[in-house]
Amino acid sequence: MEKSEKFYINKREHNDIVILELNGYLDAHTSPIFEKELESIIENKIYKIIINFKNLDYISSAGLGVFMGYIENVRNNNGDIKLTEMNSKVFSVFDLLGFPALFDIDITEIDSIKRFENKN
């Protein structure tokens, strides 16, 4: 797992779902770390992904772009990227750019897991 002093990812699995906990600052300098992690997951043919934001303090447009770069591929493979546990500062950035219309954004990680499980 690649790390930056201001950003890192904790990766967990729950059945056939991968959960990525983002920590710190996701910006132009750190978004390649996140991008590489998503690429690796998709290359392993895992298409049910939850991104947990509880420890993310900041996201820039470069970080947001990573989501847009992968969502179509994931959905074309009958998967999805669910977003959860955003603080109000991070949510306001997503909200400003209309992401709630494009992505499921849940209050808790359990809610995101249930969305995947109820879809089966």
Which of the four pLDDT bands, split at 50, 70 and 90, describes residue 119? Answer: confident
Residues 6+ apart with CB under 8 A from 40: none
Q: Look up the CATH number of the domain holding residue 78.
A: 3.30.750.24
Indicate if the pLDDT at residue 5 is higher than 90: no
pTM for the model: 0.93
Residue-wise pLDDT tens digits, 98-115? 999 999 999 999 999 999
Indicate if the pLDDT at residue 120 is higher than 80: no
Strand stretches in 15-120, DSSP E:
17-26, 48-59, 80-84, 105-106
Residue 79 or 118, more confident: 79
- Count the domains in the chain: 1
Q: What pLDDT, on a 0 to 100 scale, did the predictor assign at position 92?
A: 94
Is residue 69 assigned to a domain?
A: yes
Q: What pLDDT, on a 0 to 100 scale, did the predictor assign at position 21?
A: 98
Strand partners, 8: 23
Is residue 2 assigned to a domain?
A: no
Q: What pLDDT, on a 0 to 100 scale, did the predictor assign at position 56?
A: 97
Look up the domain containing 19 and give its range. 7-119
Is residue 65 assigned to a domain?
A: yes
Indicate if the pLDDT at residue 3 is higher than 60: no
Residue-wise pLDDT tens digits, 26-79? 999 999 999 999 999 999 999 999 999 999 999 999 999 999 999 999 999 999
Nearest one of 12, 32, 7, 37 to 22, comparing CA atoms? 7
Is residue 87 assigned to a domain?
A: yes
